[in-house]
């Protein structure tokens, strides 16, 4: 209650559900997404629950866009206590039929896009003295399931990275979860 949470992919699916849950718990929300219309709809839904909320249109695969959205959210709310790095794309396609362009698009969004958001948030939370960052993973990040080759690869990479980051930041004022 009274904390500010930033959610990437906050305009649909798991991100929207998380936004509604956090709003019911009294959190103010900075919602990041690529679709302005859906973003505005979710902002209205959570504001109806009595919290402050603002949408920031950005694509996490574009580092400058997500950095700007995080800076704007920090300026608007003062602090970002919680970040839920949730934005991602899913593609069902047998691994043998994937193109390199498809694989790069999944990795650019799900892995590198998450890191594009992670690093400015880490800097913000270090400067403010702490916070919590949680990434949405998947069981696909633990066991490969056909026909999800590119998605599985992106979630395996993210799982490994966040395991290392959590260990490195253990005992600090920044909590890492996945």
- Kindly state the average pLDDT of the residues 73-88: 97
Strand, coil or helix: 112: helix
Q: Which two tokens stand for residue 11?
A: 């305009």
Catalytic positions are: 151
End-to-end CA distance of the chain: 22
- Kindly state the average pLDDT of the residues 112-119: 98
Cα gap 127→39, rounded to integer Å: 28
Contact between residue 152 and residue 104 where contact means Cβ atoms under 8 Å apart: no
Helix H, strand E, coil C: the string for 93-139 is ECHHHCCHHHHHHHHHHHHHHHHHHHHHHHHHHHHHCCEEEEECCCH
Q: How confident is the model at residue 117 (pLDDT cuts 50, 70, 90)?
A: very high
| Rg of the chain in Å (alpha carbons) | 16
Cα gap 178→85, rounded to integer Å: 9
Q: How confident is the model at residue 142 (pLDDT cuts 50, 70, 90)?
A: confident
The mean predicted confidence, pLDDT, of the chain is 97
- With 90 as the cut, is the pLDDT of residue 140 above it? no
Contact between residue 177 and residue 83 where contact means Cβ atoms under 8 Å apart: no
122 CB-near residues (< 8 Å, 6+ apart): 133, 174
Q: What is the pLDDT of residues 3-48, one digit of tens each?
A: 999 999 999 999 999 999 999 999 999 999 999 999 999 999 999 9
CA dihedral 119, 123, 129, 132 (to 10 degrees): -20
Q: Which two tokens stand for residue 72?
A: 């704007």
Q: What is the pLDDT of residue 129?
A: 97
Q: For residue 30, list its beta bridge partners.
A: 6, 54
Q: What is the pLDDT of residue 145?
A: 87
Contact between residue 39 and residue 55 where contact means Cβ atoms under 8 Å apart: yes
Contact between residue 27 and residue 82 where contact means Cβ atoms under 8 Å apart: yes
- With 90 as the cut, is the pLDDT of residue 65 above it? yes
């Amino acid at each position: 209650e009274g904390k500010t949470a930033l959610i990437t992919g906050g305009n649909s699916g798991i991100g929207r559900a998380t936004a509604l849950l956090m709003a019911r718990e009294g959190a103010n929300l900075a919602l990041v997404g690529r679709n302005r219309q859906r973003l505005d709809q979710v902002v209205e839904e959570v504001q109806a629950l009595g919290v402050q909320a603002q949408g920031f249109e950005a694509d996490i695969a574009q580092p400058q866009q997500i950095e700007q959205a995080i800076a704007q959210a920090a300026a608007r709310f003062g602090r970002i206590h919680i970040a839920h790095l949730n934005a991602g794309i899913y593609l069902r396609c047998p691994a043998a039929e994937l193109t390199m362009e498809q694989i790069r698009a999944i990795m650019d969004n799900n892995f590198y896009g998450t890191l594009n958001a992670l690093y400015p948030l880490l800097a913000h939370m270090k400067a403010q003295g702490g916070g919590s960052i949680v990434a949405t993973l998947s069981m696909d990040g633990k066991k490969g399931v056909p026909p999800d080759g590119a998605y599985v690869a992106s979630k395996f990479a993210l799982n490994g990275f966040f395991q290392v980051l959590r260990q490195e930041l253990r005992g600090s004022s920044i909590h890492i979860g996945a």
